[in-house]
Each structure stands twice: as C-alpha cells, then as structure tokens.
C-alpha cells in the first residue's frame, strides 16, 4: 500500500500518464464536468477544499501555466490571491467562465472537490521536467 503522496488511484494514475502541455483541472462542486473526465473526491460541501486539493496535486505535478475564469477576480478575490501565492512565478491567464467551461473539453481529467465558493476552478498545464 502506498504510504505517501496522493492515495486516490485515479488521480495518481492520471498524473503519471501526463505529458508536456497536457491539461488537467481542479474544480468546485458546481463545475459542470463530463462523466468520463470526472474524478469526484467531494465528500460534503467544503470538503475537501479546492486549496487543499490544489496544494496536494502540486506536490506531484509540475505546472507550466494555468488558467482561471476572469470572474474569480470579482466574485472570489480571496481565492484568486491564494492561487497566485501558491503558484507564484507561474504564468497564468484569465478567460471568461464560458470559455473556461469550453476549455474543459481539452483536459485529460477534472478533479471535483467539495469546494462551494464561486469560481474555484483552475486548469493546469503540465510542464516539461527535462
């Protein structure tokens, strides 16, 4: 049995299968996600939190850049700031929430958290580790 890191087998395998520029997403409990891409780890409202999941994933995933919905700046500025602190020095872009949902078609998988604050969603692009 694995003793460290991500214990969820779907997430662990999904991360292992990624290559440079592949995309994954972490979303709040309200983000519409196609069933074939969803890894649902939500337990109840707020658990696990978006930030807890992001921090854990980043221990096992190298990010080249990330995408946020521009609405986060207005409707969840605290979450926006936390993300920028956690991913300091990493390039990012904002797109509309509608564009964000459309971009989910390009991700390999989406981790659905229990987060219940607005626009707590991120698309992460894998960085080349060489």
Structure tokens given for 83? 């993300």
Q: Which string of DSSP letters, residue by residue, matches the chain? A: ---SS---HHHHHHHHT--TT-EEEEE-TTS---TTTEEE---BTTBS-HHHHHHHHHTS--EEEEEEETTHHHH-HHHHHHHHHHTTT-EEEEE-HHHHHHHGGG-S-EEE----STT--EEEEEPP--
Residue 120 C-alpha from the chain's centroid: 9
- Determine whether 97 is an active site residue: no
Catalytic residue among 5, 7, 20, 99, which?
Answer: 20
Annotated catalytic sites, by residue? 20
């Amino acid at each position: 049995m694995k003793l460290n890191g991500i214990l969820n087998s779907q997430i662990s395998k999904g991360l292992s299968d990624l290559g440079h520029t592949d995309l994954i997403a972490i979303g709040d409990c309200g983000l519409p996600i196609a069933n074939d891409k969803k890894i649902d780890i939500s337990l109840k409202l707020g658990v696990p939190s978006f930030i807890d999941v992001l921090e854990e994933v980043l221990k096992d995933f190298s990010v080249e850049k990330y995408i946020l919905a521009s609405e986060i700046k207005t409707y969840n500025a605290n979450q926006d700031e936390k993300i920028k602190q956690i991913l300091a020095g990493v390039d990012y872009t904002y797109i509309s929430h509608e564009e964000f949902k459309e971009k989910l078609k390009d991700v390999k998988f989406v981790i659905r958290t229990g987060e219940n604050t607005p626009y707590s969603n991120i698309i992460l692009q894998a960085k080349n580790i060489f």
